[in-house]
Structure 1
Amino acid sequence: MDNQETWHSIKSLEKELQIPDTTLRRYIRQHGHHLNIKKNRKSYLVANESIPLLKKIRGLYVEGKSIENIETVLTNEGHPITITIDNHTESTALTLNESIEDIRNTLNSQMNEQKQIIQSLIQTIHEQQHYIEAKLEERDKHLIEALKENEEMKKQIAASQQKKWWQFWK
């Protein structure tokens, strides 16, 4: 944050923007996370860089937009969400958009890795299924051959016993 930043009080903004101070305070309460502000005892100070955004918020309310619609517009336009931390002498603004973007990128890469792992597992399952089906077919084929051989053997045994029995009486 630049130490040369110009900060404006609510009273000076009221005169400059011709927006009542109660309305400015409401904008800060509802949309302050999009504005670069710091609290000075019971009043707020607004950074010079946030004045165009206050004008935009005012314009959106004049158009009849709701709080939720305005939040959506501000978020979609990529206005940085800032948190101001007061360390007694120096205030530091942290931008969350970079952190959110990093988290989003990390999640996307993890999601892509998970998709690849899932595809690999699906491929392995398909290969195992084909292997099992082939083994079952082979087993069934051997079983049928064994049954046929067994049946053939029974017929041969029955035929040889039948011959012997008939030959025995002759």
Structure 2
Amino acid sequence: MQQKDWLSAEEVAKEIKVSAMTIKRNCQTYGSFLKFQQGEKNKYLIYQECIPVFQFIAKMRNKRNLQTKQIIELLSKEGFPKYIDIEPIQTTKQQPGQIQVGQGVVAVQELDRIVAERVSEQLKKHEENLKEWLTEQQKQQQEFQKSILQKINERDQNLMTMIRETQETKKWIAATQQKKWWQFWK
């Protein structure tokens, strides 16, 4: 698309004989039927082919005094094309591109392909993250089990040491008591 295909909101406003603010408001309200780009400092660039949509909206507002919802329904019934925003793939531009919907099956199939690719990429990323998380959890589980086994072994060794000491103490007490008992009869 060439630069002359895009008009400023002020240029469109002059052509339709409404204020530039009305054009900008219409861009926000009826955005699905309009192809436009919003730049810095509230600057709008509007695709030239969207002028009939603005004319239709102005006509419905002024002559028939219709509400927003009714105008949207009429835009659909009259066959005005809808546009949806898509993010460009592998480009450095910040603004999303727009493709026309409802005018052909090819655009929908292309959109389906793009969505499928993105979903596939996201699933792969999530799968990788899940694998990393699972590996980390397994490492933590193994460390925890090693720690538990080490503490159990230490406890068992301490318990065995205490049992041996208790047995030795009992033998010593028994030996001491026996000695006294025999000494008592002498």
- CA offset at residue 14 of structure 1? 2.1
Q: Does 1:56 align with 2:31?
A: no
Equivalent in the alignment of 2:99: 94
Q: Deviations over 1:54-108 (max 9, x none)?
A: 0111000011111111000001122121124465188632223246x979xxxxx
Equivalent in the alignment of 2:28: 29
Q: Secondary structure at the residue paired with 1:19?
A: coil
Equivalent in the alignment of 1:20: 19
Which piece of structure 1 moves more, 3-12 or 30-39?
3-12
TM-score (norm 1): 0.51
Q: Secondary structure at the residue paired with 1:60?
A: helix
Distance 2:73 2:3 in 1: 31
Task: Count residues with an aligned counterpart.
Answer: 101
Percent identity between the two aligned chains: 22
Contact map agreement 1:38 1:84 (CA 8 A) in 2: no
Q: Deviations over 1:112-136 (max 9, x none)?
A: xxxxxxxxxxxxxxxxxxxxxxxxx
User: What letter corresponds to residue 56 of structure 1 in structure 2?
Assistant: F
Contact map agreement 1:82 1:94 (CA 8 A) in 2: yes
Contact map agreement 1:5 1:47 (CA 8 A) in 2: no
User: What letter corresponds to residue 82 of structure 1 in structure 2?
Assistant: Y
Relative to structure 1, is the Cα distance of residues 22 and 85 closer, same or farther in structure 2, using a 3 angstrom cutoff? same
Contact map agreement 1:10 1:45 (CA 8 A) in 2: yes
Equivalent in the alignment of 1:80: 81
Root-mean-square deviation (CA, aligned residues, Å) is 2.7
Distance 1:92 1:29 in 2: 16
Instruction: Please list every run of 5 or more consecutive structure 1 residues that lacks an aligned counterpart in the other structure.
Output: 104-170
Relative to structure 1, is the Cα distance of residues 12 and 68 closer, same or farther in structure 2, using a 3 angstrom cutoff? same
Distance 2:100 2:52 in 1: 19
Relative to structure 1, is the Cα distance of residues 54 and 17 closer, same or farther in structure 2, using a 3 angstrom cutoff? same
Which piece of structure 1 moves more, 24-33 or 5-14?
5-14
TM-score (norm 2): 0.47
Q: Kindly report which structure 2 residues correspond to 1:1-170, keeping only aligned pairs within 5 A, or say none.
A: 2-3=1-2, 6-41=5-40, 42-62=42-62, 63-85=64-86, 87=88, 88=93, 92-97=97-102, 98=104
Distance 1:81 1:66 in 2: 19
User: What letter corresponds to residue 30 of structure 2 in structure 1?
Assistant: H
Distance 1:29 1:35 in 2: 9
- CA offset at residue 32 of structure 1? 1.6
Instruction: Please list every run of 5 or more consecutive structure 2 residues that lacks an aligned counterpart in the other structure.
Output: 110-186
Distance 1:91 1:5 in 2: 20
